[in-house]
Amino acid sequence: MVGGFIYDIIIILGTWGQLMLILDNDIPVRMPVKWYYDNISNEIIIEYEKEFSNLELILSKLLKSPRYLKRRLDLMNSRLWLLMDGNNNLKDIIKIMELDFKEQILPSKQRIQASILIFMDLRLSTVVKNAESISWNVEQYKD
């Protein structure tokens, strides 16, 4: 405890080796990707373009593999995805997720931060300091 405030900082090394700090007041926000809400399963489906190395790109063209990947999120990550709308900071998201999933999500902070890091590594989300800096659409894809 410093000056009456608890500074709760998570330090994570991403897959690209950069040092990442996620503070309680940081706002995780999804990037502008195509996503759908499945009303039957209550899960999110994200569709995004695959990133290939040069060799993978050549093989992909030869084999005519799909260029887009559909990723179905489980219930917890679907809820997290919906909360990453630019209106909730990390602390708020943790509180809401703990209320929704109780002991199922414990240790909540570590699990939520790990999920956010995976979304960031996949370039599906980012973290901003204030909501005013969000200049892209975070809403569900509409045909």
Domain count, the chain: 1
Mean pLDDT throughout 37-49? Answer: 94
Pairing between β-strand 19-23 and β-strand 9-13 as defined by DSSP bridges: antiparallel
Q: Domain with 84 in it: what CATH number?
A: 3.90.930
Residue 143 lies in a domain: no
Write out pLDDT tens, residues 61-104: 999 988 889 999 999 999 999 999 999 999 999 999 999 999 99
Q: Tell me the two tokens of residue 32.
A: 């502008």
Alpha-carbon gap, residue 74 to 72, rounded angstroms: 7
Residue 9 lies in a domain: no
Nearest to 117 by CA among 17, 6, 1, 8: 17
Predicted local distance difference test score (pLDDT) of residue 18: 54
| pLDDT classification of 14: cutoffs 50, 70, 90 | low
Contacts for 127 with CB less than 8 Å, ≥ 6 apart: 22, 26, 27, 28, 29, 116, 120
Give residue 42's domain range: 24-133
Predicted local distance difference test score (pLDDT) of residue 7: 42
Alpha-carbon gap, residue 143 to 54, rounded angstroms: 32
Contact indicator for 68, 93 with CB cutoff of 8 Å: no
